[in-house]
Structure 1
């Protein structure tokens, strides 16, 4: 069973994070939370654990209009929000991986047609954001 949409790109870590934020914003998602897994591991588990995971953040992405529709249809859906987007790069990897939750995961847990419609919309938007990352970044005019 897959529960994420994933791409791997030959981008440096900082650029991948920046472009992921921008691509999500273009699709109406704001970042409500950010978890720096590497920093958390270093603090809680030590330098070796942090080094083993590499660069790794979890962005809690939220499109307020979609969240409102999902919660109106089924208030318990809040337990599955926001949509998590992971940006990660292992210590020996040459590419940065970006993964977004597959909103259809919500549909598997709910029989609501309204939740299904929200998941479809969110899925299209997250797929567009990931696709945007594969396009060359536009350079400002001189």
Structure 2
């Protein structure tokens, strides 16, 4: 079992980010951090790099449960998702595999079950990139009318 889960899509980079953000919201996650490595490398190192963003996804309910069970679980938060464009214009989306990470640090069955649920939701968000209207919206999905405009990247015209 790998420490990440990955899919390659032929959807434009910016559209992938927008769809992924919506899919994560349907799974109860919000994007709390965005790191643009292309921009960072350009500014700090004067290096040209491919499109590469790291999104930090957080489900507040799961985060609360995790740090309540083990106060050091904050070291595993947020769940990182990498979106990177390859030379052939395909876009790879990779999400951390919480099950594998938890397996490495604890033998707690409760944390394992918890990590399984988080993993399933992250995988669903990534797998549903191919659909215009993804299914499997969970009851704690974040409302789409209160989305911070800072977290949505506009579609290219």
TM-score > 0.5 by shorter chain: yes
Q: Name the residue aligned to 1:108.
A: 104
CA spacing shift, 1:82–1:116, aligned 2, 3 Å: same
SS at match of 2:8: strand
- Could you list the structure 1 runs, at least 4 aligned residues long, displaced by more than 6 angstroms after superposition: none
Q: Deviations over 1:68-98 (max 9, x none)?
A: 11111111110111000111103x2221110
Q: Name the residue aligned to 1:95.
A: 90
Cα separation, 2, equivalents of 1:76 and 1:5: 24
Larger RCO, structures 1/2 (Cα 8 Å, 6+ apart): 2
- TM-score, normalising length: structure 1: 0.88
SS at match of 1:50: coil
- TM-score, normalising length: structure 2: 0.80
Q: Any unmatched runs of 5+ in structure 1?
A: none
Match of 1:60 among 51, 56, 74: 56
Q: How far is the alpha carbon of 1:2 from its aligned partner? A: 1.6
Give the CA RMSD over aligned residues.
Answer: 1.2
Q: Name the residue aligned to 1:50.
A: 48
Q: How far is the alpha carbon of 1:13 from its aligned partner? A: 1.0
Q: How far is the alpha carbon of 1:110 from its aligned partner? A: 1.4
Q: Any unmatched runs of 5+ in structure 2?
A: 134-157
Q: Name the residue aligned to 2:143.
A: none
Alignment of 1:2-41 (within 5 A): 2-41=2-41
